[in-house]
């Protein structure tokens, strides 16, 4: 992998990730852009104990542009985009309309491929490995920023999820705090460790899932399963079999196998609802240990956390979505219409050829 860092016309960082070491990336951003102005602010809720970001400048972000005006495609002639070069393998750049900025963290966009009409599932294993290496590199770099406590790599796919740009891409949020969902996990890990005299909760969960009927697919180094208490209609968790706290700690064997397992999982997601159905909308989310202090989670350190990816769709059946209504949005109590055992069986049935 070759990494080339440059700057866009408004000063934002852009990084090319190339498979070839002889790639040259010297194209200049020719757009007449003003310096980026953001209004990001993090506010803490005293009752719930969590934090939210206020980012009013995002109201002006690009919304469903036509394909020939996509800002994530390479620049061609007089059609100038966020990527100055006329081609790329993978690229990461600072979001022009970030939810988090400055002392409130950082937001980046990850373009998986220059092909506007592709999806992540269409990537080759070599290209998927490049994206994995880019996620890992950005996790490392962002973790060293003084304002960052946790790095979150994710992909939103599909209009139903709220995606406003059709080009295959994901995002990276570098939070200035430990996210509420991760804090819940760490509290559960701490309680289990104390109650069992030191047993790791992630290890216990993985051992139970490996022995159950909800395993979807399994490799030598990774396993994917529908969790016992899945929140979403079709939800799969992908774990490395060797517990590591973050992407940085994956060994070469796990990195090599990941593209095979992950691409197969994504392709099965597109087959869940049968032929002729539109692509399955999904969220794919990496969970990594925070880089900040963990004193509030007594007895827990970073190595107690288990890196894993959660992949889920809000489509519950053909033509119908799962909405977060009163119980989910008001009380955070999910009601799942699809039994996890059925979801796992369906995902095993639709194995790609």
The rounded Cα 157 to chain-centroid distance in angstroms is 10
Query: How far is it, in rounded angstroms, from Cα 308 to Cα 222?
Result: 10
Indicate the angle between helix axes 125-143 and 252-269, nearest 10 degrees. 120
Secondary structure of 125-194 as H, E, C letters: HHHHHHHHHHHHHHHHHHHCCCCCCEEEEEEEECHHHCCCCCCCEEEEEEECCCCHHHHHHHHHHHHHHH
Identify the burial level of 70 via C-beta atoms within 10 angstroms of its C-beta, where 0-12 means exposed, 13-18 middle and 19 or more buried: middle
Task: Please compute Rg for the chain using Cα positions.
Answer: 20
Please give the backbone phi and psi of residue 268, each rounded to the nearest 5 degrees, phi first. Answer: -65, -35
**Among this protein's residues, is 169 annotated catalytic?**
yes
- The active-site residue, picked from 167, 169, 192, 308, is 169
Answer yes or no: are the C-beta atoms of 139 and 174 closer than 8 Å. no
Cβ neighbours around 323 below 10 Å, total: 9
Which residues form the catalytic set?
169
């Amino acid at each position: 992998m070759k990494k080339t860092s440059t700057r866009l016309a408004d000063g934002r960082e852009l990084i090319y990730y190339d498979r070839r070491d002889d790639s040259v990336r010297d194209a200049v951003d020719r757009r007449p852009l003003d310096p980026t102005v953001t209004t990001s602010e993090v506010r803490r809720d005293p009752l719930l104990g969590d934090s939210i970001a206020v980012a009013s400048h995002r109201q002006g972000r690009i919304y469903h542009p036509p394909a020939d005006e996509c800002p994530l495609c390479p620049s061609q002639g007089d059609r100038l985009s966020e990527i100055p070069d006329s081609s790329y393998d993978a690229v990461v750049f600072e979001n022009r309309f970030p939810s988090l900025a400055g002392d409130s963290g950082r937001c980046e966009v990850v373009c998986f491929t220059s092909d506007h009409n592709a999806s992540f599932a269409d990537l080759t294993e070599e290209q998927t490995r490049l994206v994995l290496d880019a996620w890992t590199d950005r996790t490392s770099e962002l973790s060293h920023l003084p304002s960052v406590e946790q790095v979150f790599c994710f992909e939103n796919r599909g209009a139903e999820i709220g995606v406003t740009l059709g080009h295959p891409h994901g995002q990276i949020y570098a939070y200035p705090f430990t996210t509420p969902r991760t804090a819940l996990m760490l509290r559960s890990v701490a309680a289990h460790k104390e109650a069992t005299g030191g047993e790791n909760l992630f290890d216990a969960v993985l051992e139970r899932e490996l022995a159950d009927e909800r395993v979807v697919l399994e490799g030598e180094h990774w396993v994917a399963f529908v969790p016992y208490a899945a929140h979403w209609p079709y939800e799969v968790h992908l774990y490395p079999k060797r517990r590591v706290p973050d992407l940085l700690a994956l060994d070469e064997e796990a990195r090599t196998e990941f593209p095979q397992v992950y691409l197969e999982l994504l392709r099965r997601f597109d087959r869940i609802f049968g032929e002729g159905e539109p692509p399955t909308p999904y969220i794919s989310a990496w969970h990594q240990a925070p880089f900040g202090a963990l004193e509030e989670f007594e007895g827990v350190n970073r190595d107690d956390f288990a890196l894993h990816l959660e992949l889920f769709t809000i489509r519950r059946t053909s033509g119908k979505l799962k909405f977060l209504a009163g119980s989910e949005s008001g009380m955070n109590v999910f009601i799942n219409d699809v039994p996890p055992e059925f979801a796992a069986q369906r995902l095993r049935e639709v194995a790609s050829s």
